[in-house]
Amino acid sequence: MAFLAAFSAASFMVTEKLSTAELLFNCAQQMGLEPVWLTPLGVFVINIDGQERYINLAHSPLNSSTSASLARNKYVTRRILERHNMQNIPFALAHTQAEARVFLSTHGTIIAKPIRGSGARDIHIINEPTQLSELAITRYILEKYIVGKEIRYLLLNHQAVGVHQSEYGTSVAHDRPLKRISYPQEAWSPSLLETSIRITNILDLQFAAVDYLIDDSGRAYILEVNTMPGLKWFHAPSSGPIVDVARLFLESIVDTAHSKK
């Protein structure tokens, strides 16, 4: 398969961490797709056999709007995973401060995340009721805080193309120091791979990252599903195999366009 060749000798390798937009635009140039920016480092157009296709970094063209909307809403994603008896982190959608305090009392330390947030922004670790009172609580999903190792499985067309371990300690700040260790294929977990594929099938996502939290006992929890994950760490990981995700992503768009003719 094409993605297997991308591990040891990626055809579009970088030594600096370009943004996802830059990676895709540069790769589109190399592929002869004649990219043109429509907005600065955000939306660009490519040419596939004389037809224009638009690349919007906020919304993968490989995912339907319905599928993307299900994954963007963290509470909806949790409810869907719950219906399928998957490895959810304990969670709650509090309608009042009193409900939030009950959840905090039950779990000791919790995390508050914006229901529709992205990019690790506006995330709060909470261990005191006074911290809850500072939040507009209905805008957040509450989750039990679990210390562990974070692993990301990146999937394209229901196949894994890369696996990373994220290392940044216990910080949740947007600008926290970050390392990404890329795993060779033989180190991928068969059970997490199976779960990741199942999630993309349930949500009907053609492109997504499924993040897991592995606690000290080795138990895996589904941390998040991301429908337009950043690509820079796959092209320039802190260590481990490089994966040419930009080319794989664009090749899938070209193949999809051809299949519709």
User: Alpha carbon 23 to chain centroid distance?
Assistant: 17
For every residue of 70-104, DSSP letters joined together read HHHSHHHHHHHHHHTT--BPPEE--SSHHHHHHHH
Higher-confidence residue of 184 and 118: namely 184
> Is 52 in the same domain as 168?
yes
> Is 105 in the same domain as 165?
no
Q: Which of 242, 251, 246 is nearest to 23 (CA)?
A: 246
Q: Is the pLDDT score of 93 beyond 70?
A: yes
- CATH value at residue 29: 3.30.470.20
Q: For the segment 18-52, what is each residue's pLDDT rounded down to a tens digit?
A: 788 999 999 999 999 999 999 987 899 999 999 99
- CATH value at residue 116: 3.30.1490.20
> Is 122 in the same domain as 244?
no
> Is 171 in the same domain as 255?
yes
- The whole domain housing 163 covers 2-87+147-259
Are the CB atoms for 237 and 10 separated by under 8 Å?
A: no
Q: Is the pLDDT score of 212 beyond 90?
A: yes
Average pLDDT, the chain: 89
Q: What is the mean pLDDT of residues 142-150?
A: 95
Q: Buried b / exposed e across 113-141, counting CB within 10 Å, b at 16+?
A: bbeeebebeebbebeeeeebeebebeebb
Q: For the segment 106-137, what is each residue's pLDDT rounded down to a tens digit?
A: 999 999 999 987 656 789 999 999 999 999 99
Q: Is the pLDDT score of 57 beyond 90?
A: no
> Is 31 in the same domain as 65?
yes
Q: Is the pLDDT score of 257 beyond 70?
A: yes
Number of domains present in the structure of the chain: 2
> Is 28 in the same domain as 58?
yes
> Is 38 in the same domain as 78?
yes
> Is 103 in the same domain as 170?
no
> Is 222 in the same domain as 104?
no
Cβ neighbour number for residue 57 with a 10 Å cutoff? 18
Lookup result for tokens 């709007």: 65
Q: Is the pLDDT score of 77 beyond 70?
A: yes
> Is 72 in the same domain as 188?
yes
Q: What is the mean pLDDT of residues 148-170?
A: 91
Cβ neighbour number for residue 217 with a 10 Å cutoff? 6
Structure tokens belonging to residue 215: 């606690």
pLDDT for 12 equals: 42
User: First vs last Cα of the chain: how many Å apart?
Assistant: 23
Name, in order, each residue with C-beta under 8 angstroms of 107's C-beta and a sequence gap of 6 or more. 90, 144, 145
Percent of the chain whose pLDDT exceeds 90: 77
* 144, 171, 189 - which closes a domain: 144
pLDDT for 13 equals: 45
Rounded-to-integer distance, Cα 132 and Cα 97, Å: 7
User: Alpha carbon 113 to chain centroid distance?
Assistant: 15
> Is 107 in the same domain as 214?
no
Are the CB atoms for 154 and 229 separated by under 8 Å?
A: yes
* 108, 126, 144 - which closes a domain: 144
Q: Is the pLDDT score of 58 beyond 80?
A: no
> Is 50 in the same domain as 115?
no
Q: Is the pLDDT score of 169 beyond 70?
A: no
User: How many helices (H) and strands (E) are present in the chain, helices listed first?
Assistant: 8, 12
